[in-house]
Chain A
Amino acid sequence: MLFQISEQIVNGIVTGAVYALVAVGMTMIFGVLRAINFAHGEYYMVGTFGAWVAIEYFDLPYPIAIVAGVIATAFVALVVGQFVMQRMVGAPAEAGVLATLGIALILQNTVILVFGGGYKFFEGGYIEPVTIFGISLAEQRLLIIAVAVLVFFGLELLVTHSRMGKAMRAVSQNVDCCAVVGIDVRKVVVRTFILGAALAGLSGVLTAPVNVSVYGGMGELITFKTLPIIIMGGLGNVRGTFFAAMILGIAESLVATYVGLQFRDTVGFATLMLVLMWRPHGLFSSQARY
């Protein structure tokens, strides 16, 4: 019994690490743009497809496919960032919702148009099991956790110490003042957007071997998983997002095992509502801002 619970918790941590990688990008984008990115799951999907194409069409090994997937996502994000997101600076919330919904439709259906709507088998990744403390885990899951920890460590350094991180924080505080002191707000927005989307793409490539199948509509579910996480984590809060993602991952894993698999996808929003009733500003922010 105890063993089974600890196994479920470890599974939950893996799921949480994936969510954390996707959600941290979305929360950073929210920080600089004040817009909820309803297309965020689509970048996860683009990353996965980038890697799938690299493996399926070019016969590349998985590690290179990871890079290919991330580059594909970054490229798509560059185009979208230049043509759409840049103009969303200071736009009303409604404009952001409509524009990102439009982008989600375009990306999702373009992929379906090019590759067909069916499920595709993702060949690659490290699926050999490893046993640690009596819990058997696929290597891929360990890789996911390791990458998540590394990425969060890197982001922490980037945000607190680098020039770009400082600019990002400045933009998320006050756009007008940044413009006054000569920070190129649009450049910061596009860079943050590319970084956030690339992280979503990376997590897509890393998860694909665990999920086995990839399909064009897979991003939507990810977006809906990520939204409650970034709210719970306190919008724009990187550390809060990490903990909220872990809580959600573990909660989902436990609910799927002990309550029923069909309830798994509602855990996020149900938890969110409970949390918001108790703390209307999220778990990790001291005051309500958005």
Chain B
Amino acid sequence: MSLNETSLPAAGRDLRWPFGLAIAVLACCAPLLLGSYALHAVIISLIFLLPAHGLNLLVGYTGLLSLAQAAFFGVGAYVSALMAVHWGTPFYLNLIASGLFAGALALPLGIPALRLRATSFVMCTLGFVIIGQAVAKNWISVTRGDMGLSAIPKPHFALGPASFTVSGTVGFYYLVLAVAALATFAVWLIVNSPAGRNMVAIRENETLAESVGVPTWRYKLVVFMISAAFAGLGGSVYAHYLTVVSPLTFQMSNSTLMLIIVLGGGPGTISGVVFGSLLFVGLSEFLRIAPELRMIAYGFCLLALVFWFPKGFAPLITRFWTLLRGRS
């Protein structure tokens, strides 16, 4: 939890540990409390948390609005799927390779894209998604086109003589929880490092940041690569969870969902994004009770968000937090 750390007085910090512990206990007990469908929704939202974390670094901390996350998400999913299907490599290797590959791919794409001004940059990143989908559809010898890749093995771990396969929903939940927790910790480290402060400086005033000696161009490029790497990790877990990937992984609505998670949760806060991913993926799953009205209701939710919570739900959490602190 890192909600505006600096603005909290010292007395408030004591509450962080019990509160964090409660969330950790709750997270560990979730399979006992939730039905299998709700658990599935939580798994999906934890998977989408990974690209959302990356996007938050880009949008929330550095101030670059991007729609490219679904492209790197898809690339990560395909890298994992191809490695697992053709070479039979273990899960953790696929996961790391997906992250690295997506991050490396962001370098040649980011160099021309980051030269653009705000709106043009958004469009260019949207183009990555459209072109990624076209490649997945048409590079049939590798991706099998619209048929996609199927029978991706479930994560399998072998430590000496002991080995086990994560197959059930509960097992997968803990695996995803571990990956998501590690990723959240990694983001926390980045954000609270001097680099994180430089990112905020770029967001607030790029020219000023440049003038006080922040290498803004290099920062933007590296943050773009890191955000892509997070998306790649998410794609990898997604591929192993669903055991199929298709060109639909590159669909535009994935990018917009990730953007909604960040903007709706609260850009520039970690807890806001965690909350956002649970809320918006959960909402989209919950609305399935009325399939005809589902997307209409979702659209109205977006409008409500824009008009009533223009800064996302993070301010709401902050208010709750101060309330809690005031009582102690």
**Residues of A with Cβ closer than 8 Å to B?**
30, 36, 84, 87, 91-95, 97-99, 101-106, 108-110, 113, 220, 224, 227-228, 231, 235, 260, 262-263, 265-266, 268-270, 272-273, 276-277, 280-282, 288-290
Q: In chain B, residues 98-156, which have Cβ atoms closer than 8 Å to a Cβ of chain A?
A: 112, 115-120, 122-124, 126-127, 130-131, 134, 137-138
Contact B126 A280 (CB under 8 A): no
In the complex the two chains form, is B303's CB within 8 Å of A269's CB? no
B117 touches A102 (CB 8 A): no
**Stretch of B82-90, B185-193, B293-301 on the interface side:** B293-301
A residues less than 8 Å from B112 (CB atoms): 273, 276-277
Closest to B135 in A: A266
Q: Which of B26-34, B174-182, B256-264 contacts A (4 or more CB under 8 A)?
A: B256-264
Q: How far does the alpha carbon of A109 sit from the alpha carbon of B112 in the complex, in Å?
A: 36
Q: Is there contact, CB below 8 Å, between B119 and A94?
A: no
Partner of A98, one of B115, B292, B306: B306
Given contacts A95-B310, A98-B306, A99-B303, contact A109 B123 (CB under 8 A): no
Number of interface residues of B (CB under 8 A): 41
Smallest beta-carbon distance B121→chain A, Å = 9
B→A interface (CB under 8 Å): 59, 65, 112, 115-120, 122-124, 126-127, 130-131, 134, 137-138, 252, 256, 259-260, 263-264, 267, 292-296, 298-303, 305-307, 310
B260 touches A36 (CB 8 A): no
> Which residues in A have their C-beta under 8 angstroms from that of B120?
231, 235, 276, 280-282, 288, 290
Q: Which of B65, B119, B295, B305 contacts A231 (CB 8 A)?
A: B119
27 inter-chain pairs at a CB distance below 8 angstroms, sorted by A residue, are A36-B119, A36-B122, A92-B310, A93-B119, A95-B310, A97-B65, A97-B259, A99-B302, A99-B303, A102-B298, A102-B299, A102-B301, A102-B302, A106-B299, A106-B303, A224-B126, A228-B123, A235-B120, A262-B138, A263-B134, A269-B126, A272-B123, A276-B112, A280-B116, A288-B120, A290-B117, A290-B119
Q: Which residues of B contact A103 (CB under 8 A)?
A: 299, 303
> Which chain A positions have C-beta within 8 A of B59?
94
* Interchain Cβ contacts within 8 Å, total number: 125
Q: Given that A224-B130, A262-B138 are known contacts, is A94 also in contact with B263, CB under 8 Å in the complex?
A: yes
Instruction: Tell whether A224 pairs with B252 under 8 Å between CB atoms, given A265-B130, A276-B116, A280-B120.
Output: yes
- When A93-B119, A105-B296, A109-B296 are in contact, do A98 and B127 touch as well, CB less than 8 Å? no
Question: Chain B nearest CB: distance from A13 CB in Å?
Answer: 24
Q: How far is the CB of B239 from chain A (nearest CB, A)?
A: 23
CB atoms of B131 and A266 under 8 A apart: yes
Cβ–Cβ contact A99 & B298, under 8 A: no
Q: Which residue of A lies closest to B109 (CB)?
A: A273
The answer, among A98, A109, A270, A281, for a CB contact under 8 Å with B305, is: A98
**Whole-angstrom distance between the Cβ of B61 and the nearest chain A Cβ:** 14
- What residue of chain B has the Cβ atom nearest to residue A39's Cβ? B299
Q: Closest CB-CB distance, A259 to chain B, in whole Å? A: 10
New A-B pairs, 14, CB < 8 Å, besides A93-B122, A231-B123? A95-B306, A97-B65, A98-B306, A101-B302, A102-B301, A102-B303, A106-B303, A108-B295, A113-B292, A220-B252, A224-B252, A262-B138, A280-B120, A282-B120
5 closest A-B pairs by CB: A102-B302, A269-B127, A105-B299, A106-B299, A290-B119
Q: Given the known A-B contacts A87-B307, A101-B302, A277-B112, are A266 and B123 also in contact in the complex, defined by CB atoms under 8 Å? A: no
Nearest residue in A to B292 (C-beta to C-beta)? Answer: A113
Q: Are A266 and B134 in contact (CB under 8 A)?
A: yes
| Max chain B C-beta neighbours (<10 A), residue from A220, A224, A266 | A266
- The one of A84, A92, A93, A272 that contacts B303, using a Cβ cutoff of 8 Å: A84
Give the Cβ gap from B111 to chain A, nearest Cβ, in Å: 9
CA separation between A36 and B292, bound complex, in Å? Answer: 28
Cβ 8 A contact of B65, one of A30, A93, A104:
A93
